[in-house]
Amino acid sequence: FIAGLVSLFYLPFSLSIVITVIFLSAAGLSLGIRARITTLLIKIFEVRFFRNQFWGSDISHDPEQKDVGDEPRPGLIKNRHSSSDLRIIKREHSEMIDSKLQEQDDMKGRSTVSVVVDDTLDFVSAGIESIIEDTVTSRFSAERLPSWNLLSRTKYSFQHITPKLTILWILGFYVRYFIFVPIRICLFVVGMSSLVIITSAIGYVPNKALKKWLNRRAMLMCMQIFTRAFSSIVRFHGRENRAMRGGICVANHTSPFDVMILSCDNCYAMVGQRQGGILGFLQKSLSKVEHHIWFERSEANDRKAVSSRMREHVGDPSKLPIIIFPEGTCINNTSVMLFKKGSFEISATIYPIAIKYDARLGDAFWNSSKQSYGEYLWMMMTSWAITCDVWYLPPMSRLEGEDSIAFARRVKRAIAKAGGLVDLEWDGALKRSKVSDKLIALQQKLYFERLSRKTSMCSDEISQDSIDILQNLSEEDREQLLQKIDEADDDAEVIRKVSEIIPELAEEV
């Protein structure tokens, strides 16, 4: 009897929704129902009851303690929250070290010893801050939410569950798994089938101009069906800055869905690692109608061939713009990490794109080191929705005398600022490997440059004597020395004061 009722009411309901969505996707229209539902859900999750039940009373929400770049941006859902609002400590010394290494003030006047000792205390404090809460490796795991969204995978404080919350969770479970998921699976299958069938058919069209026109219409339609299969709400800003033909577009990387999100509004040629499984099948289907570039990351010869093919592609104005994610791995959308310089060596003009997801209804981050693509796909299917904002930034060109590394950093800063993300200089490869010698050498070089700017080091041999003295001092003697020296003391004066504390040490030097 129950099965009969389901087939009588639910199947026609689901079928009508699927047909309506396909029609709207083909026409590029929307009824606004998803936006209204997501707005209602956000209001429910932001109720104080959810916050209290989720966190209890141990964690205070200090609105002043936010990461740099976490200010709300125009176009974002109001009251956006992220894990950056829930930091364990305020990283004063880490920020101080970063600011010291980046500052360009050439004013000298302090002794080498006083600068090194002062910086040493900051380095030690910054190290302790990193042990308590690491700003780098935390970017490789899902962000923690300030209010529960009724998804069990985002529930950390199980001791705060109450009977009322349990009832709401069960209700949400049935809505997601028995109403949303069947409809989403149907839409996903329709989208996948349409993509494969249409791209295969378009591949046989002999006329190149007609082939490109059909491919654009088909890709926009199929990608819009895909996004609606996950109840995606996407807001695009600055559409006048879109790259139409040729050129290289770069964006921050959070998920395989980044391509799907961007392809709802424009068509791109893709550059990426050759995949297996369902992703590999999609790559082969897409390559039938457009010039995409797939490679093996482990093959050095493959990388050279990719650079050559990209140069040829960019030089052809009839081809689609290339979309590249220079971070090289998925980051949890709270920051932008080091951009690889390769794509910035190929083209003098770059079209930056900033993507910011709102994780309150579902976290789009793919932790590829822990989840297979199938697991990730199911997680997205069973989420409430995917909501995000996309900013097309004005094209940026390399300045005179600017190398590819400096150009990449400048573009990265612009993307971080537009998306309200934290700008980090660390390599995303740390997700799977240890800190490279290059990164360590870079930090050492930055500090050496600071010493060169702030002290007489490198121009006076006595500075090295000061360093030698400092290395041989005990902690107790160092504290005593700090009380005696003045910032205006030069290195010779520092050595004289050391001789008053430990005469034999100064004589050795």
Main-chain dihedrals φ then ψ at residue 293, nearest 5 degrees = -120, 115
Tokens (6 digits) for 270: 């893709």
Q: What is the pLDDT of residue 258?
A: 93
Judged against a pLDDT cut of 50, whether residue 75 lies above it is answered with: no
CB 390 within 8 A of CB 419: no
Transcribe 11-55 into DSSP letters.
Answer: HHHHHHHHHHHHHHHHHT---SHHHHHHHHHHHHHTSHHHHHHHH
| Amino acid of residue 9 | F
Q: What is the pLDDT of residue 315?
A: 80
Q: Please, which pLDDT band fits residue 30 given cuts at 50, 70 and 90?
A: confident
Between the alpha carbon of residue 282 and those of residues 294, 376, 397, the distances in Å are 12, 16, 33
Q: Which residues pair with 397 in a beta bridge?
A: 349
Highest CATH level, class, for 163-426: alpha beta
In the chain, where the domains are located = 163-426
CB 324 within 8 A of CB 271: yes
Q: What is the per-residue pLDDT across 118-164, written as a single tens digit (0 to 9) for each?
A: 777 778 877 777 776 677 777 877 777 777 788 876 665 554 567 87
Residue with more model confidence, 209 or 447: 209
Q: Which residue has the tokens 């998803």?
A: 34
Q: What is the per-residue pLDDT across 486-506, written as a single tens digit (0 to 9) for each?
A: 655 665 666 666 667 666 554
CB 232 within 8 A of CB 261: yes
Nearest by Cα to 184 from 370, 3, 34: 34
Nearest by Cα to 195 from 34, 33, 25: 25
Tokens (6 digits) for 408: 């990449």
Mean residue pLDDT of the chain comes to 76
Lowest mean pLDDT among 47-56, 106-115, 156-165, 229-238: 47-56
pTM: 0.72
The long-range contacts involving 176-182, CB below 8 angstroms and separated by at least 24 positions, are 176/382, 176/383, 176/384, 177/382, 180/231, 180/381, 180/382, 181/381, 181/382, 182/14
Q: Please compute the mean of the pLDDT values over residues 341-358 and round it to a whole number.
A: 88
Judged against a pLDDT cut of 70, whether residue 322 lies above it is answered with: yes
Q: What is the per-residue pLDDT across 381-420, written as a single tens digit (0 to 9) for each?
A: 999 999 999 999 999 998 888 888 899 999 999 999 999 9
Tokens (6 digits) for 475: 């902690």
Determine the Cα–Cα distance for residues 28 and 22; give it in Å rounded to an integer: 10
